[in-house]
Amino acid sequence: MRALAAVLFIFAAGCAEPPPPEGYGEGLGTPENPIPEDDLSYVVTSSLDFTTNGALPQPVVDTVAGLRAFSSNPARALLAKADQTAVQTLKSQIGTTLTNSLEGWLNTEIDKARIATKTLRQYATELTTISETTLTKFYLDSVLSMTPAKTTHMLGNLNFRHSRDIVVLLGGTASDVLKQTPTLAVMPGGAMTLGDHKFSMAFGNHAWSGINLASTAIYNRDVSSTFVGGILCAEIARAVSLKCSGTSCVGHESQLKTICDGGVTGFVDDLRTHVAAFKLEMLRFAAGNARLVDDHGDGLADRILDGTWQVEMNMSGTMRQVSATFIASK
């Protein structure tokens, strides 16, 4: 009988439920001292701004330099991205007088194009603002799930809010590390802190998608289609080849078209390359502080307010520290 009792005891012990995890602390879980609802997904929106006193980081300035140059002098910007041997050969063939007028003639033809009633210079100006905002001021949409035993924070979307709300789904690249398990502490009065955790993402690729989505929303064309479709190199080359000064005319229509096509392709590729170079090798939320709010008097938090992150970011090899804010709700 004693042996049977021992076996039954061991069997019962083996089947027993594991002990429940420890709670957040004595006196918590009241309307005045709310706690998170177990395993509920709180939808978090974090606002990040990587400007410094309104000033753009130098890498962003460098990225939009081509767009600014195009806004001022489209022909010069395109010629700078074309095959330089071909450009110099053309200039030597048409001579100094015609060369001095070449940019002006090219600009006259480029300025005839309209994209949703705007010139390409105006488009480039607006795209400059879109690109600057996309690369420096954005929102992270994430999900926060909390229990006394484990907290999970998972990034979901990048939300670029300029003249349009543009949402880009994260994931799909090897560089994207989007799920972390920070520590959590809940204190009286609804105060909560989240511990150090780190993400990474191919930010530049996602930003380029956001820029193109914004262009499409505003102009019904992405960046490449807008420039390629707006700068009709065959027509521009034909018109400029007929320009003359005195008895000398430009000619060289096929060379002009080749240079124009190469300039447009090089210009768009340069912008894409600069944007894609922005990588968040490390997006560290060193600490998070916020306030839990109980709206229904059941001691469980319905919202998270007054959230702040201390953010440390390694963007393409350059470390930056910024403060960010966040809110969350069920």
Give the C-alpha separation, 109 to 104, whole Å. 9
What six digits make up the tokens of 162? 């300029």
Q: At residue 82, does pLDDT exceed 80?
A: yes
Residue 199 has pLDDT above 90, yes or no: yes
Report CA 219 to chain centroid distance, whole Å.
20
pLDDT number for residue 44: 97
Task: Check pLDDT > 60 for residue 227.
Answer: yes
Question: Looking at this protein, which amino acid is placed at residue 21?
Answer: P
Averaged over 139-164, what is the pLDDT?
A: 92
3-state secondary structure (DSSP) of residue 283: strand
pLDDT band at 15; cut points 50, 70, 90: low
Closest by CA position to 75, among listed 45, 109, 98: 109
pLDDT tens digits, 83-138: 999 999 999 999 999 999 999 999 999 999 999 999 999 999 999 999 999 999 99
The per-residue pLDDT for range 278-316, each reduced to its tens digit, is: 877 788 999 999 999 999 999 999 999 999 999 988 766
Residue holding tokens 């560089």? 175
pLDDT of residue 112: 96
Residues in Cβ contact with 266 at an 8 Å cutoff, skipping those fewer than 6 apart:
78, 81, 82
Measure the CA angle with vertex 139, ends 57 and 181; round to 5°: 105
Report the distance separating Cα 68 and Cα 20, nearest Å: 61
Q: Which residues are CB-neighbours of 221 under 8 A, at least 6 positions away?
A: 115, 215, 229
Is the model more confident about 28 or about 281? 28
- pLDDT at 10 > cutoff 50: no
Q: Which of 14-28, 180-194, 214-228 has the lowest mean pLDDT?
A: 14-28
What residues form DSSP beta bridges with 167? 159
**Banded pLDDT at 3 (limits 50, 70, 90):** very low
Chain mean position to CA 182:
24
pLDDT category of residue 6 using cuts at 50, 70 and 90:
very low
pLDDT at 256 over 80: yes
* Whether residue 27 has pLDDT greater than 50: yes
199: burial class by Cβ within 10 Å (0-12, 13-18, 19+)? buried
pLDDT > 60? residue 21: no
Burial per residue of 150-177, b for 16 or more beta-carbon CB atoms within 10 angstroms, e otherwise: ebbbbbbbbbbebeeebebebeeeeebe
pLDDT of residue 245: 95
Residue 276 near residue 212 (C-beta atoms within 8 A): no
Instruction: Tell me how far apart the alpha carbons of residues 112 and 118 are, in angstroms, rounded to a whole number.
Output: 10
**Model confidence pLDDT, tens digit, residues 53-72:** 878 888 899 999 999 999 99
pLDDT score recorded for residue 23:
83
Residues 6+ apart with CB under 8 A from 150: 181
pLDDT confidence of residue 316? 66
| Residue 201 pLDDT > 80 | yes
